[in-house]
């Protein structure tokens, strides 16, 4: 009796496992998908790999149009020889025109889909998502766009981001999300800054230097590179630095009125390049360089915050900081106060290494 029962249970489990099994040659694994506004319709572009002999990979493109976002995948499926699978989806890319109108329906759908991974990346294309995806077709390197975002988070100027973090900020009442901003440079997709969002709509974008500032203000990161243009004795030059570790400390006062926020930013840096008139090998110009960098970041952080106030976006999360300190915090009231928020910045840069000449 017990042996029959055990056999029946085992058989059911076996059948269940077989039902969910997929053979890789019999499905189309979509790695990236893009959405664009095309006249009165939405255009969907999907990229998927096919695997040939000797481990070679070929990337392929599927496109379709529909009046509804929900109809894009079914329409793409009609053009595929095998069922489309999105379980390995690494990137969803939005054209800027569509993002300006709002990406809420697509975000809501991604949130509800149990197959979509929370670490998947999102992005904005300067012109169209289709152009960005097609530009990478000839690389024949699967998942290269999603990997490009992850690499720039780990080693470059992008703050931490993925679908999970985007959703957290998307539904937050005290912080606004941002996404990597893609352009095409010399025929290749290029991460060129951050796209700023408010209420699910693209507002504007910032460059990579400004993205670096957002990163150190949010993450306290240990990576990223930055270039400072300087002018001394009517000569122009650049200081290039690498972040070895940054930390921002926020002090908030007057939470029941227009808040005052003091930002103390500490950075340990490695100098990668300097103008020829600096003598970094003898260390005599190090204090002078530290002062130049301190003054620069004091000004640039303040200007970037003023830009965010002008756009009425809060990617740093000042709203969350004020809410944590105030019992009377109100979202609508804070939105009215946000453009008048008062901030002061005090930067302390420590030059730990001078890679030039060492």
Taking only the tens place, the pLDDT of each residue in 129-178 is 999 998 877 676 667 888 899 999 999 999 999 999 999 999 998 999 99
Question: What is the band of 325 on the pLDDT scale with cuts at 50, 70, 90?
Answer: confident
Residue that is last in its domain, among 152, 171, 206: 206
Judge if 73 and 186 occupy the same domain: yes
The domain in which residue 152 lies consists of 21-206
Tell me, what's the pLDDT at 14?
42
Task: Judge whether 356 lies within some domain.
Answer: yes
Task: Judge whether 351 lies within some domain.
Answer: yes
What tens digit of pLDDT does each residue of 212-228 get? 999 999 988 889 999 99
Q: What angle do CA 355, 357, 358 make, to 5 degrees?
A: 60
- Selection from 12-16, 53-57, 109-113, 209-213 with the highest mean pLDDT: 209-213
Give dist(CA 99, CA 37) in Å, integer.
9
Residue that is last in its domain, among 158, 175, 206: 206
Kindly tell me the burial class for residue 186, based on how many C-beta atoms sit within 10 Å of its own C-beta (0-12, 13-18, 19 or more). exposed
Query: Between these two residues, 26 and 245, which has the higher pLDDT value?
Result: 245
pLDDT above 90 coverage of the chain, percent: 51
Task: Judge whether 214 lies within some domain.
Answer: no
- Selection from 68-82, 104-118, 139-153, 240-254 with the highest mean pLDDT: 240-254
Judge if 188 and 66 occupy the same domain: yes
Tell me, what's the pLDDT at 23?
53
What tens digit of pLDDT does each residue of 4-48 get? 444 444 444 444 444 444 455 567 788 889 999 988 899 999 988
Check if the beta carbon of residue 290 is closer than 8 Å to that of residue 351. Answer: yes
Judge if 179 and 32 occupy the same domain: yes
- Which has the closest alpha carbon to 48: 90, 20, 14? 90
Q: How far is CA 99 from CA 173, 174, 175, 225, in A?
A: 20, 21, 18, 28
Judge if 143 and 39 occupy the same domain: yes
Report the CATH number that the domain containing residue 264 is assigned in CATH: 3.30.300.210
Check if the beta carbon of residue 188 is closer than 8 Å to that of residue 178. Answer: no
Mean pLDDT on 189-215: 95
Check if the beta carbon of residue 220 is closer than 8 Å to that of residue 248. Answer: yes
Tell me, what's the pLDDT at 19?
44
Give dist(CA 149, CA 161) in Å, integer.
9
Judge if 178 and 225 occupy the same domain: no
- Which has the closest alpha carbon to 356: 294, 266, 282? 282
Hey, how many other C-beta atoms are within 10 angstroms of the C-beta on 344? 13
Provide φ and ψ at 126, rounded to 5°.
-60, -40
Judged by average pLDDT, the poorest of 216-230, 274-288, 309-323 is: 274-288
Question: What is the band of 286 on the pLDDT scale with cuts at 50, 70, 90?
Answer: confident
Give dist(CA 192, CA 205) in Å, integer.
9
Tell me, what's the pLDDT at 104?
92
Mean pLDDT on 283-306: 91
Tell me, what's the pLDDT at 234?
77
pTM for this predicted structure: 0.87
């Amino acid at each position: 009796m017990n042996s029959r029962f055990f056999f029946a249970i085992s058989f059911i489990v076996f059948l269940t496992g077989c039902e969910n099994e997929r053979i890789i040659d019999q499905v189309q694994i979509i790695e990236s998908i893009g959405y664009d506004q095309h006249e009165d319709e939405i255009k969907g572009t999907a990229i998927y790999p096919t695997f040939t002999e000797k481990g070679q990979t070929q990337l392929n493109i599927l496109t379709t149009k529909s009046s509804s976002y929900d109809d894009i995948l079914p329409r793409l499926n009609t053009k595929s020889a095998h069922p489309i699978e999105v379980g390995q989806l690494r990137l969803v890319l939005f054209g800027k025109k569509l993002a300006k109108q709002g990406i809420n329906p697509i975000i809501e759908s991604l949130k509800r889909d149990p197959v979509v991974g929370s670490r998947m990346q999102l992005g904005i294309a300067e012109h169209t998502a289709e152009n960005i995806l097609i530009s990478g077709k000839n690389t024949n390197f699967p998942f290269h766009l999603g990997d490009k975002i992850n690499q720039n988070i780990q080693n470059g100027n992008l703050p931490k981001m993925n679908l999970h973090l985007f959703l957290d900020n998307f539904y937050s009442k005290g912080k606004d999300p941002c996404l990597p901003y893609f352009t095409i440079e010399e025929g290749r997709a290029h991460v060129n800054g951050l796209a700023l969002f408010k209420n699910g709509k693209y507002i504007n974008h910032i460059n990579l230097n400004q993205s670096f500032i957002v990163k150190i203000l949010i993450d306290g990161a240990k990576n990223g590179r930055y270039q400072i243009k300087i002018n001394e004795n009517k000569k122009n030059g650049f200081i290039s630095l690498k972040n070895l570790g940054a930390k921002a400390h926020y002090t908030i006062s007057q939470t029941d009125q227009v808040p005052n926020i003091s930002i103390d930013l500490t950075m340990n840096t490695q100098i990668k390049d300097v103008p020829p008139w600096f003598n970094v090998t003898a260390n005599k110009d190090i204090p002078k360089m530290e002062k130049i960098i301190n003054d620069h970041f004091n000004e640039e952080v303040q200007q970037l915050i003023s830009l965010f106030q002008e756009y009425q976006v809060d990617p740093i999360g000042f709203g969350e900081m004020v809410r944590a300190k105030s019992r009377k915090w109100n979202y609508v009231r804070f939105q009215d106060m946000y453009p008048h928020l008062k901030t002061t910045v005090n930067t302390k840069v420590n030059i730990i290494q001078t890679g030039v000449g060492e």
